[in-house]
Amino acid sequence: MATTNVAITIKSEANQVTTDPFNYSRNFNMTDPADDGGIVLTSGLSRTTLSTNTPFVIVPDSNQTTDFGYVFINNTHSGNKDRVLEIKVGTTLVGRLQGGDKIFMPYNLDEDLIIVAPDHNNMIIEYQTFES
């Protein structure tokens, strides 16, 4: 089965995050914890416009074949840090993405709803789900 690799890098020059240069880089394969089978389905990258105080549920494909997956969410407003997107897993607040911020995280397809809520009208987000 095909392997899907994720690479995450956080890098900063001296005196920006710490007094010394900072470079953190990790790679991992997206796999199913039950069988290490890899990604079997993706929703494809979707783009939608959201309205203020109107929660939007990012739902995995209705044809899901497994119970574990990953989600990528991008707040596309990179020039507008005041355009904040609230992210919840079920009823638990995970965080808030400022304009230009992104998140990539695992979740349980059977139990977790990923819900996003914008604080401005006409906020554009991108998202993609991956099932493993």
Give a yes or no: residue 18 inside a domain: no
Give a yes or no: residue 23 inside a domain: no
pLDDT at residue number 101: 93
Give a yes or no: residue 99 inside a domain: yes
pLDDT 10s digits, 1-19:
556 778 888 888 888 777 8
Residue 117 belongs to domain spanning: 40-131
Number of domains, the chain? 1
Give a yes or no: residue 33 inside a domain: no
Give a yes or no: residue 13 inside a domain: no
pLDDT 10s digits, 73-132:
999 998 888 899 999 988 889 999 999 999 998 887 666 688 999 998 999 999 988 876
Distance from C-alpha of 118 to C-alpha of 132, rounded to nearest angstrom: 29
pLDDT at residue number 48: 93
Whether 60 shows a pLDDT value over 60: the answer reads no
Give a yes or no: residue 5 inside a domain: no
Is residue 63 very low, low, confident or very high in pLDDT (cuts 50, 70, 90)?
low
Instruction: Tell me if 83 sits within 8 A of 99, measured CB to CB.
Output: yes
DSSP string, 69-104: EEEEEEE--TT-TT--EEEEETTEEEEEEPTT-EEE
Is residue 24 very low, low, confident or very high in pLDDT (cuts 50, 70, 90)?
confident
Q: What is the CATH number of the domain that holds 52?
A: 2.60.120.10
Query: Residue 105: which of 30, 25, 19 has the closest Cα?
Result: 30
pLDDT at residue number 30: 74
Contacts of 8 (CB under 8 A, 6+ apart): 25, 26, 27, 104
Q: Which residue has the higher pLDDT, 38 or 60?
A: 38
Mean per-residue pLDDT for 39-62?
80
Give a yes or no: residue 88 inside a domain: yes
pLDDT at residue number 34: 60
Give a yes or no: residue 19 inside a domain: no
pLDDT at residue number 20: 85
Q: Is the pTM of this model over 0.85?
A: no
Instruction: Tell me if 99 sits within 8 A of 77, measured CB to CB.
Output: yes
